[in-house]
Amino acid sequence: MTATSTRPVPPSRLIGVLLALTAGPAWAELYKCRQPDGSLSYQQTACAAQAEGDRLQVDIRGPNGRESASSGADYSVAAQAERLRTEREARERAHLQARREAEVRARALKAAAKPDRNTDFDSAKCARHRGEVAKWRQKTKGGYRTRDEKDYNDSKLAHHEALVERYCE
């Protein structure tokens, strides 16, 4: 004769079961599939013919209990990628605008401070910096691997062009 023991069910488990049964239509379809190699995968579509699986119920209600989250934000990969792309483009536009404004200010300051005649003329320095300008122009035309390398090449070119203006004109 076997004796069966009956243990009382904890109230928290009963409440959880009751809530699960009364939740209503706030469930999403999810499938748990066991692949032929033994691995598990979870997906939104039914399992392939060679895989065995079960249909799972997933509660998709928001924290406020409604079926959709109250924020209404689109968290899909495409929406996030689009948001990141527009933010990056805005940063690049702001960077380019700031650079142009700095160049305009620098030209204005240079024009205001430029003497009538060049007292710094040095033919050797002039020739050397013209060669450097040609070299850095070639490097900027040849492309770059990273944004830092492009900025470095552009700044070196601008530096040597300024020295050519200083020593050659």
How confident is residue 127, by pLDDT bands cut at 50, 70 and 90?
Answer: confident
Mean per-residue pLDDT over the chain, rounded: 77
- Cα 134 from chain centre: 36
Domain coverage including residue 80: 76-114
How confident is residue 111, by pLDDT bands cut at 50, 70 and 90?
Answer: confident
> Can you tell me the distance from the alpha carbon of 31 to that of 145, in angstroms, rounded to the nearest whole number?
44
How confident is residue 16, by pLDDT bands cut at 50, 70 and 90?
Answer: low
Q: Tell me, what's the pLDDT at 117?
A: 56
Q: Tell me, what's the pLDDT at 56?
A: 66
- Within-domain flag for 143: yes
- Within-domain flag for 162: yes
> Can you tell me the distance from the alpha carbon of 160 to that of 166, in angstroms, rounded to the nearest whole number?
10
Q: Tell me, what's the pLDDT at 102?
A: 93
> Can you tell me the distance from the alpha carbon of 33 to that of 46, in angstroms, rounded to the nearest whole number?
8
- Within-domain flag for 63: no
Query: Do residues 110 and 127 share a domain?
Result: no
* Structure tokens belonging to residue 97: 């605008």
Q: Has this prediction a pTM greater than 0.85?
A: no
Query: Do residues 109 and 128 share a domain?
Result: no
Query: Do residues 128 and 149 share a domain?
Result: yes
Q: Tell me, what's the pLDDT at 100?
A: 94
Q: Cα angle at 157 between 152 and 163, to 5 degrees?
A: 130
Q: Tell me, what's the pLDDT at 31?
A: 76
Query: Do residues 97 and 130 share a domain?
Result: no
Query: Do residues 109 and 135 share a domain?
Result: no
Q: How many domains does the chain have?
A: 2
Query: Do residues 127 and 164 share a domain?
Result: yes
- Within-domain flag for 134: yes
Q: When comparing pLDDT for 94 and 119, which is higher?
A: 94
